[in-house]
A = this chain, B = another copy of it.
């Protein structure tokens, strides 16, 4: 029964946007941003919606519609100035400065995240690595030391951290989440395979390996079912059958 004690998982969807940019568009802005960085690196100064759309893996109508929510940053008959558009999108997303991030749970995955080099170049800076296991505390990863989770409140306040990443085992995730929220974190990215609940006003997104694989498995099963193979079981796809 929801609505009672815990205000059931609040998704990021919320129409109280400043200028009302649709959530689906928000989710694509980072893709456009990356595509623009790629174009810059290749020395392209100007691009059409068609070119940018191809680089981002969407169709050009969608791209233009998306950009139209931000304003009129293109020139009719010409296209978009890559640098200018890049800056506008970065500003809209809010990654013209770096956001400090705390990562909780420095196991295999936490290590991988801590070592991920794309953070700094994409608007984020790891401010703290926390783990509940005293064995791991004190270890250095990159130029940060792993600290105890009990220091979370102090660190969040000291570094003005608003974003937390949960990379703990599933059973610990909800408790960690609650304490992050209590410490003042208002955005959480969850890698633990559990449904987390957060209060209103806290944004929650999740990344879930087995869910992604299961979605692929579903479609894979449908493919094999259409073939003259034995049945719809894994392992009997006669390699190279579907696709080109």
Contacts and interface: CB of A to CB of B under 8 A. Distances in A.
Interface string A104-126: 00011101110110110011100
Contacts of A208: 30
A141 to B, nearest CB: 10
Given A222-B18, A235-B160, A244 B200 contact: yes
Interface in A1-32: 1-2, 8-9, 12, 14, 17-18, 26-27, 29-31
Nearest to A181: B243
A198 B122 CA distance: 26
A92 interface: yes
Nearest to A160: B235
A122 B92 CA distance: 39
**Copies assembled:** 2
A157 interface: yes
Contacts of A27: 211, 215
A45 interface: no
Interface stretch (A52-60, A61-69, A72-80, A130-138): A52-60
Contact of A234 (B8, B94, B183, B244): B94
Interface in A209-244: 209-225, 232-237, 239-244
Interface residues of A, number: 98
B243 A97 contact: no
Contact of A243 (B113, B202, B219, B242): B202
A86 B63 CA distance: 40
Nearest to A236: B160
21 contacts: A18-B225, A31-B211, A93-B214, A97-B234, A99-B213, A108-B111, A108-B115, A109-B109, A124-B217, A160-B235, A162-B220, A162-B224, A163-B217, A184-B240, A184-B241, A186-B241, A186-B243, A187-B220, A198-B243, A205-B212, A205-B216
